[in-house]
Amino acid sequence: MTGRTARRRVLRVSVPDGSGPDPRADLLAVEEPLEIRVGGEPLSVTMRTPGDDLDLAAGFLAAEGVISSAAELSQIKMCDSNVADVTLAPGVGGPGARLRRQFVTTSACGVCGRESIDAIRVRARYDVSADPARIAPATLAGLPGRLRAAQRVFASTGGLHAAGLFTAGGDLLALREDVGRHNAVDKVIGWALRAGRLPLAGCVLLVSGRASFELTQKALVAGIPVLAAVSAPSSLAAELAAESGMTLVGFLRGASMNVYAGAERLAG
């Protein structure tokens, strides 16, 4: 498997102290394409950090509404280090005309090339509005520190996003890192799907960047009642969360946070 970091020579320049240029080695997060195939036919190419690629392929298909459980997967295999081939279980319909094409996404945006917002609204199979989960604000406030402490590749490169799945009590269930925010979330969802844990009732998904519409949609598709982000949500993410009964928290930093939807889940 391709490594997650790459070493490169850099020239460190420090202006304030007037010291001379300092050649040194630096670690970079690896970014490489992963082609996802269904039944041998190309479906998607996404730029990702290698690792947990089977989870990424499974999570991508779940987020796109192609599959909803591990029972709908017959096999996922790596044809080589950058190609994942998915075989669906007998009787499971494959990607429709909307997805049966090869399209390229980048590490910055998982929905590039889509025709419209309506085209990416996936019908959620789970009703998160009925989820009785409650989480204390103090527990939420402690999650970013736990996420950062578990980010091994970020610690050495400073160049990766992370998605962490927690219980309402603050226990870390799964963490995935990637150069793409959407990929990190897909890897978490794929892990849950392959482990037979969907829907993720009573769970909190924490993302290291902002909460976009796409990430909110992915959380909804996985049945996650609480989405938290260390940065801002988008207006459409807040609207989707409110419409679906999801709790959306942004600017989760230190002891403060903004609650954009579903404040009733914050115990106390």
- What is the residue extent of each domain of the chain? 32-120, 128-265
CA triplet 32, 182, 121: central angle to 5 degrees?
130
79 is catalytic: no
Q: Which of helix, strand or coil describes residue 9?
A: strand
Exactly one of 79, 109, 112, 203 is catalytic; which is it? 109
pLDDT digits (tens, 9 = 90+) for 139-174: 999 999 999 998 876 656 666 899 999 999 999 999
Instruction: Specify whether domain 128-265 bears CATH 3.40.50.620.
Output: no
- Counting Cα atoms < 13 Å in the Cβ hemisphere of 223 gives 18
Looking at residue 115, its pLDDT comes to: 44
In this structure, what token pair is assigned to residue 76?
Answer: 């996922």
Q: Which CATH number fits domain 32-120: 3.10.20.10, 3.60.20.30, 3.40.50.720, 3.40.50.10240?
A: 3.10.20.10
How far apart are the two ends of the chain, measured CA to CA in Å? Answer: 47
Whether the model clears a pTM of 0.85, i.e. scores above it, the answer is yes
Can you tell me which residue has the tokens 């987020």?
A: 63
> What's at 87, amino acid-wise?
T
Whether 251 shows a pLDDT value over 70: the answer reads: yes
Residues 77 and 84: beta-carbon distance below 8 Å = yes
